[in-house]
Structure 1
Amino acid sequence: MFRQRLASALVGIPVVIAVSYLGGLLYVALITLVGLLALREYYTLTAIDDKGSMILGFGGHVLLTALLWLQGFTAFSAGFFAIFVFINIFWVLTYPRDFRILSFLLWGFVYVTGLMGFFVLLRELNTGFSAVLTVFVAVWASDTGAYLVGMSVGRHKLIPAVSPKKSVEGALGGMLATGLILALLAPQLGLVRLPALILGLTLSVAGQLGDLAESALKRWANIKDSGSFLPGHGGVLDRIDSLLFAAPLAYLFF
């Protein structure tokens, strides 16, 4: 398992960093593709399996991401509410249809499309690449620190009902690792050390909450992994759950 995780990371991380550095259409295309893969797994977790609903979800994701990149957050917001109205009309015209699916569909736009959109906004900043790289480094440091400390000295369960393997010690280890790493790399990331330390602690907490939120969703759906797209890592949603919660806070910071 560890070798698979390491191999996937060694291949995937350089690709993600290179595309983030280049930015532009290629970067937005990657964000859109990752979002589509995550949405597909989310639809499996929430039992959305009819083609009409999935087409609405995938199409809306592509449209909203394009609006965000081309026209900004105002256009994205207008597009979201237009899609909300359209989906409700669709539900009326195709009645009877389970309204729980409508709720899950709209929540997918918020959870995946909306939160992924902050990576588009981050990259559009003057220090866009550094900002995106900061989020990646923070989440990777948090995940690694939490895993190593939790495996070594983890004794007290964090929230066992949601994620039985996570420990309080691991969570604290992830926070400490992230704070120290961002403080050490602050000059390279264009940051001042003390704010970088505080940002690291904050992004670690946000990332771990994102991980727990997805764990709760999987626990509710009675599914271990969101998918099997990445060897040793589970699904795409399993890999971006922490990033989804960290990106909005990073955007506010920058």
Structure 2
Amino acid sequence: MKERILTGFIGGAAFLIFLYLGGKLFASLISLLTVIAYIELMKMAKIRLWSFPSLLGIVGVITPILSTFLFLGDYSFLQGFERILISVAFLLLIYIVISKNQFTFEQAGICLLGIIYIGVGFYALIDTRISSGLAYFVFILILIWTTDSGAYFTGRYIGKNRLWPSISPNKTIEGALGGVGFAILVGLLFQLFTSFFNGYMTVIWMSLLISLVGQLGDLVESAIKRYYEVKDSGSLLPGHGGILDRFDSLLFVFLILYLLQMH
């Protein structure tokens, strides 16, 4: 427990510092986390790190972030992303033939889906920080963390009905509802002291959306780990697992907000 708390404190503080500084420093940190998270996915899927598909996937997952934020200063991400996806898919399909099915169609799908899930998800963090500013980003973080804490304590003390036992045995319906309730409460308090949004109804449905999508992101990553029969996505963060374990909710929330143009 001490190791978990210490890692969480140091890691959280470092992330918040880079978040506050913003710009290329924050983009550089997110670029590093993107690569690590993709490597974790490759390891779970038992795709060799130094193989052509893994290296191609790393290039695919990081190129948009690097080219957009570190070199060109052009924030029109999706204009070129489809070409990256098509090019990667084309090369992976060719490699299936070259490897004589040692590399499979299923593994090619994992590499490609990983680029979308991890690459676009982490990209959305940077885009939100740039386009919407620090306060909005912090608001989202607070709601995600509140949801996690609210769900944990509610589930621990009054949770009886399992939410999705085949995916995440410890989560309960009561915990999920408690996480949503706490998120809405904290969202309303945020609005009370900051008047950041246009009215309390906006805050309520934003808090509801962020809380529900964050919990869904957690379940998605749990499903991936259960499929590959691993406890954690990695071991980089002692007591917490890997990068995907810590950013599962954030990736989904920021991705959905980006797609809905709510960033």
TM-score (norm 2): 0.88
Equivalent position of 1:236 in the other structure:
243
- Corresponding letter in the other structure for 2:57: G
Distance (Å, rounded) in 1 between the aligned partners of 2:15 and 2:228: 30
- Corresponding letter in the other structure for 1:167: T
Q: Does 1:133 align with 2:138?
A: yes
Q: Does 1:99 align with 2:105?
A: yes
3-state SS of paired residue (2:171): strand
Q: Does 1:123 align with 2:132?
A: no
Equivalent position of 1:111 in the other structure:
117
Distance (Å, rounded) in 2 between the aligned partners of 1:183 and 1:248: 23
Equivalent position of 1:66 in the other structure:
66
Shift of 1:195: 1.3
Q: 1:249 to 1:188 in 2, by over 3 A?
A: farther
Is 41-50 or 150-159 further displaced after alignment? 41-50
Distance (Å, rounded) in 2 between the aligned partners of 1:47 and 1:37: 15
Distance (Å, rounded) in 1 between the aligned partners of 2:133 and 2:182: 24
Equivalent position of 1:253 in the other structure:
262
- 1:205 aligned to which of 212, 215, 218: 212
Shift of 1:113: 0.7
Task: Give identity over the alignment, percent.
Answer: 32
Which residues of structure 2 form unaligned runs of 5+? none
Distance (Å, rounded) in 2 between the aligned partners of 1:19 and 1:162: 33
Shift of 1:138: 1.5
Equivalences for residues 43-82 of structure 1 within 5 A: 43-49=42-48, 51=50, 52-69=52-69, 70-71=73-74, 72-73=76-77, 74-82=79-87
1:68–1:120 CA contact under 8 A, matched in 2: no
1:68–1:117 CA contact under 8 A, matched in 2: no
Shift of 1:50: 5.2
Equivalent position of 1:86 in the other structure:
91
Equivalent position of 1:185 in the other structure:
190
Is 189-198 or 210-219 further displaced after alignment? 189-198
Distance (Å, rounded) in 2 between the aligned partners of 1:87 and 1:121: 28
Equivalent position of 1:220 in the other structure:
227
2:37–2:243 CA contact under 8 A, matched in 1: yes
Distance (Å, rounded) in 2 between the aligned partners of 1:117 and 1:155: 38
3-state SS of paired residue (1:227): coil
Equivalent position of 1:171 in the other structure:
176
Shift of 1:117: 1.3
Shift of 1:105: 0.6
Shift of 1:90: 4.1
Shift of 1:91: 3.9
Which residues of structure 1 form unaligned runs of 5+? none
3-state SS of paired residue (2:47): coil
Distance (Å, rounded) in 2 between the aligned partners of 1:189 and 1:54: 46
